[in-house]
Amino acid sequence: MTSPTLSEVTEEFTDDIRLHEDITGFAAPDPHTVSEVFLTGATGFLGAFLLRQLLAHGLTVHCLVRAPDADAGLKRLEENLRRYELLDTLDLDAVRVVTGDVTRPRLGMPEETYTELAGRIGTIYHSAAKVNFLTIYKWLRRATVDATHEILRLACAAGAILHHTSTTAVFEPTADQPPRGSSTRPGRRRHCNWDTPRASGSPSNSC
């Protein structure tokens, strides 16, 4: 198998940075009126602590979890919270497990479930990611680019505010410093608020 040429890679990137036609701007709700939110990545490190904060604000949190059913998904969620010593501090009565997969159309949900969820949530917190800066782009594409398009589609269907978090660095910013190892401080994460009401047809963001 031959490596892609620079022009092929450039063309692929150019296609991927374009929003699909079904992803448009909309008037997002007043954040103070939101009572139900959607969280991806709740079985990861960052997502566990986001879940804690969202529950502390009295919100109902719908968590997307890869699992065969809701019971198995809840077990995965609890195991992750236990790993970070959070489980005993949280009341999970306000947690709703939604089984699915960020890499699949409609995030892997049946159409009926997707439509019902879109009618309930007012904010989306997208922290799911496949983080590996040493692999090639095509192996990350589904979990990053394709997943983000699906999250944007849900935001449009729900008319929901979107908070998108992505990892931007695992190496030191200057060439004379060695890469960070697994025992050193983790890579920085960049938090962007996708603010659709200010846009006409295309969103603006503040990072």
In a domain, 181, yes or no: yes
Is residue 87 domain-resident?
A: yes
User: Does 11 fall in a domain?
Assistant: no
| 145 against 119, higher pLDDT | 119
Separation between Cα atoms, residue 78 and residue 76, nearest integer Å? 5
2 lies in a domain?
no
24 within a domain of the structure (yes/no): no
pLDDT digits (tens, 9 = 90+) for 181-193: 444 443 334 444 4
Q: 0.85 cut: is pTM over it?
A: no
- Report the pLDDT value the prediction gives residue 24, as an integer from 0 to 100: 86
Q: Is residue 6 part of a domain?
A: no
Does residue 148 surpass a pLDDT of 70?
A: yes
- Strands ordered across the beta sheet of 36-40: 95-99, 60-65, 36-40, 123-126, 161-167, 189-195, 204-206
Lowest mean pLDDT among 7-11, 100-104, 171-175, 194-198: 194-198
Residue 80, domain extent: 30-206
Arithmetic mean of pLDDT, 15-27: 83
Give how many domains the chain has, as a whole number: 1
Question: Does residue 35 sit within a domain?
Answer: yes
Q: Give a yes or no: residue 10 inside a domain.
A: no
Q: Which CATH number do you get for residue 94?
A: 3.40.50.720
